[in-house]
Structure 1
């Protein structure tokens, strides 16, 4: 019995299909040139393999392209995460990274890095007077000047706001000082911002790392040196020393103690009379804060107010002063035969003026005590009234709408321009004590004060002279037309109980 011989092409067909199915898309089944059904199947399988191979190659190319795009996006994200968007400098995260690397190299015997931290001295005033757009332009110019002042291998970073840092790898104190001086010189030169020319100094803290030091400690100590430099009268450089750290810790302790003082009524108010010069009638008082420190005794304002302003505690402190001064006025109104126009003066700081809650706080106190707004006079410095930004203007306008009187303090030490004085939203101008000192003995000074008084009165404002210490000064001010005054001649600041005695004495004199 004869059997049919199998077609050898079938074996090749099966083998080819198996190899293609396993992923070898380059496989092609050989064909003999015959034109039967088997040849047609072979041709079809080979065409399918061609199509699959083309599709697979396109897929590989697409995956490779997408992978490259993802890698690029990841690189860009990493760059953005380490870059300050405004100045394109390194940011705090990037600075910490390079510091960590440099400190690791120091532990292996390399020279240590030096860190310079700097803060612009007048940037807030630029922002307030020229706007944030101009402020941003200033920061960009500062960034370029910093990069021009250092080597390519040094790292320049913006830490936030107007605070910058420069990391010098493998450095020493001599080089760090040299770079700091170069930066100081570069930033002391004027900047052209649009049509304006601006001068913006800086304060620089310098710290050369020590073996085993952490990134956090290095940054903190450079920052401590910078704040010490900032406390100096002019732009300058301060190298870190351990005593600065002790002073900063002491400052931190004092902030904590100040917060406790506010909470536990360790603060007290002293009151100085403001007198109608022609009659001796006491028109009101200025409230001045003191701190009854449990260990250091009675502290004067200059011993804690600057710290309160620097740390932001001034807002809490100012609220305490305002509330207690108005409460004391209410108490006196209830118990003493005061004139209906008797007022209390309270000083406020720039930080308080820029606090959006100021108006609401004043309104709450007036509502709580029942004191008429016209009996509250808020004193602010001339520069605050003149150079304030939108928030300052909002606060001043809101206070005026409440009916509170506003007074410029220390007039004659700042702008003192008639164009400014005419448009300031104030009721009263207090002439600085430096202008009063020569009255009665210096005729030229007398003529100058007379001109200042004419200027104030021409603007429709009341004038108060401070720092009156002698009868001659008081008499001369009356002759020159000044309506009110205060000073040691009329009474030193005293606690409420003692002031009541002063009030009784002057009331008797005026009668």
Structure 2
């Protein structure tokens, strides 16, 4: 049968062509003849039905996959803009928010305010309780900051223990209100595993200005925050342009300090440690000074924290150890020092964590032919408060080597005699602050005597620093204190002057009270470190 004779054939061919073009809804009605042509029509209709079902299922899968990809993109964007630990915005999101808020100033909106918060002494929390506890503290801090801000504000974590609060369209009064609420909220103790933890913050505030970039606003707020930390911490400071000069000066000093360690600008002074009963010189403590070519003598309480901050304290410690031991070796060759004469050298917490510390000390002693017993390392309580594996290994190994170990600044940190008995130490240096009010504060003399008795009962030797008058020396002698140091006996001296003193005598004579009052240390620097 030809197409001319049966119009269904032409319709069938047309339907097949439409199907091939993707028109899956194309259908033909079978005739009442129910012949071979109708059978083909029915078959084509079934094929079209199946193709349409397959296509619809495919389309649903594509839509589902597209939705999944779209959601995954949204989730990735959220992850890229948020802090994984706290769920707060991250630095990227903060910078975007700052740019947007600054851009609104041109449209007549109030400028944004940026608060930068840095937790005070957060490192001690990690050191004492571990990083898991530290992370939980950060999460609590994030929650509390979210509670004190406005709905339009953005709270971000910039990393570590540093947070930021962006206040779009704010005045200085509004910024101060939020900052005070934040400080008050963080002043409340944080309870973690039955332990109450204090976690305060220093805050810097900067109000944005026209034509200011996001990076400049962040830098200014950061500068104000560091000014707050330097002033005493747990303080709110508003940015002032003069702070930038101070920051630039500090940055310049940091660069100069790196060079100073490698040059001849650092010098060592030595202060005698005296046997109180006889005034015999038992040894000397090493004190580092920075003789800056322009700024003059820079005190250690200025550049030691800077060295820790910029990561050169390790190099500084190694230089002091090597230089002072070489000086001791020269004195032993040139002078008739007593066999028990000891050099006392400060070690930082960073140095105590160095795996090669013991090998370094052993190699120096061997090279200079010095007995290990001639060296005493002084460490602060905070350096070993966590009793970390590396720190304890260093202390135990140094003790086995024969090096003396002394806890420095006792009475200013986490002082506990029972705690100290668990450490491989033999000496305790009592902080000078306990002698300052020895004869002016009621009960202070008895308090110091009790501390001395506890140290002695623990099998440790007490060394008192900061002895400045004959009366203090006599009172310590009456308590049967073994040794001490201070301006009353001798101020810190350069190596040549100390060598001359050691060459002339082994004993420091008593002096008149007027001599004590009239003598002024020409450096103007207290003997710290």
What TM-score comes out, normalization by structure 1 length? 0.92
1:219: which partner in 2?
218
* 1:293-304 paired onto structure 2 within 5 Å: 293-304=292-303
CA distance in 1 between partners of 2:3 and 2:221 (Å): 97
Deviates more, 1:309-318 or 1:223-232: 309-318
Alignment of 1:299-378 (within 5 A): 299-356=298-355, 358-378=357-377
**What residue ranges of structure 1 are gaps of 5+ in the alignment?**
none
Q: Please state how far the C-alpha of 1:349 moved relative to its aligned partner.
A: 2.8
For the pair 1:182 / 2:181, whether they are aligned, the reply is yes
Q: Deviations over 1:384-410 (max 9, x none)?
A: 344555554444344334433211122
Q: Which runs of 5+ in 2 are unaligned?
A: 510-529
What residue is the counterpart of 1:495 in the other structure? 494
Moved more, 205-214 or 6-15: 6-15
Q: 1: distance between equivalents of 2:103 and 2:442? A: 71
Q: Deviations along 1:181-226, whole A, 9 cap, x unmatched?
A: 1111111122222322222211100000010111111101101100
Are 1:170 and 2:169 matched, yes or no?
yes
Asked if structure 2 preserves the Cα contact closer than 8 Å seen for 1:103 and 1:113, the reply is yes
Displacement, 1:48?
1.2
Once the two structures are TM-superposed, the CA of residue 291 in structure 1 deviates from its matched residue by 1.0
- Report the CA distance shift for 1:217/1:401 in structure 2 as closer, same or farther (over 3 A): farther
Alignment of 1:399-478 (within 5 A): 399-436=398-435, 446-478=445-477
In the other structure, the counterpart of 2:145 is: 146
Work out whether residues 440 and 476 of structure 1, in 8 Å CA contact, stay in contact via their aligned partners in 2: no
Structure 1 match to 2:522? none
Q: Does 1:29 align with 2:28?
A: yes
Partner of 1:245: 244
Q: Is the 8 A contact 1:129 1:389 kept in 2?
A: no
Q: Deviations over 1:277-330 (max 9, x none)?
A: 333332221110111111122222123223223333323222221221122222
Given that 1:184 and 1:201 are in contact with CA atoms closer than 8 Å, whether structure 2 keeps it comes out as yes
Structure 1 stretch 85-94 or stretch 365-374: which is displaced more?
365-374
For residue 329 of structure 1, give the secondary structure of its aligned residue in structure 2.
helix
Bigger drift between 203-212 and 257-266 goes to: 257-266
The whole-number CA distance in structure 1 between the counterparts of 2:78 and 2:484 is 62
Structure 1 residues 47 and 152: alpha-carbon distance in aligned structure 2, compared to 1, 3 A threshold: same
The whole-number CA distance in structure 2 between the counterparts of 1:371 and 1:95 is: 57
User: 1:286–1:345: 8 Å Cα contact kept in structure 2?
Assistant: yes
Helix, strand or coil: the match of 1:159?
Answer: strand
Equivalent residue, structure 2, for 1:209: 208
Q: Which residue of 2 aligns with 1:54?
A: 53
**2:512 maps to what in 1?**
none
Answer with 481-490 or 414-423: which moved more. Answer: 414-423
Q: Match for residue 280 of structure 2? A: 281
Q: How far does residue 138 in structure 1 lie from its aligned partner after superposition?
A: 1.3
Of 291-300 and 51-60, deviating more is 291-300
Alpha-carbon RMSD:
2.6
Q: What is the Cα deviation at residue 66 of structure 1? A: 0.6
- The 2-side partners of 1:157 and 1:136 are apart by 15
CA deviation after TM superposition for structure 1 residue 125, in Å: 1.9
Are residues 216 and 421 of structure 1, via their aligned partners in 2, closer, same or farther at CA, if it must alter by over 3 Å? same
Aligned to 2:517: none
Question: Is the 2:456–2:462 contact (alpha carbons within 8 Å) kept by the matching residues of 1?
Answer: yes
* Deviation, structure 1 residue 462: 1.6
Shift of 1:455: 1.6
**Post-superposition shift, 1:475?**
4.3
- Tell me by how many angstroms 1:99 deviates: 0.9
SS in 2 for 1:491: coil
Judged with a 3 Å threshold, the aligned counterparts in structure 2 of structure 1 residues 4 and 19 are, in CA distance, closer, same or farther, namely: closer
Counterpart CA distance in 1 for 2:112 and 2:267 is 49
- State which drifts further: 257-266 or 377-386: 377-386
In 2, the alpha carbon distance for the partners of 1:509 and 1:203 equals 47
Aligned equivalents of 1:365 and 1:221: distance in 2? Answer: 46
More displaced stretch, 325-334 vs 348-357: 348-357
How far residue 88 of structure 1 moved from its aligned partner, in angstroms, is: 0.7
Q: SS of the residue aligned with 1:96?
A: helix
**Residue 360 and residue 162 in structure 1: after superposition, are their counterparts in 2 closer, same or farther (change >3 A)?**
farther
Q: Which residue matches 2:479?
A: 480
Aligned in 2, Cα 1:83/1:402: closer, same or farther, shift over 3 Å? Answer: farther
SS of the aligned residue for 1:9 comes to helix
Looking at structure 2, the residues matched to 81 and 247 of structure 1 have their Cα atoms a distance apart, in angstroms, of 35
SS in 2 for 1:507: coil
Greater CA deviation, 317-326 or 60-69? 317-326
Contact kept? 1:204, 1:225, Cα under 8 Å:
yes
Mapped partners of 1:355, 1:447: distance in 2:
40
Deviation at 1:97, TM superposition (A): 1.1
Q: Map 1:83-232 onto structure 2 (within 5 A).
A: 83-232=82-231
> For this pair of structures, how many residues does the alignment match?
508
**Pair 1:477–1:197, CA change in 2 (3 A):** closer
TM-score, normalised relative to structure 2: 0.89
Mean CA deviation greater in 298-307 or 213-222 = 298-307
2:526 is matched with none
Range 389-398 or range 300-309, more displaced: 389-398
- Secondary structure of the structure 2 residue equivalent to 1:167: strand
Q: Deviations over 1:135-194 (max 9, x none)?
A: 122111111110110112100011111111000001111111111111111111222223
2: distance between equivalents of 1:468 and 1:414?
20
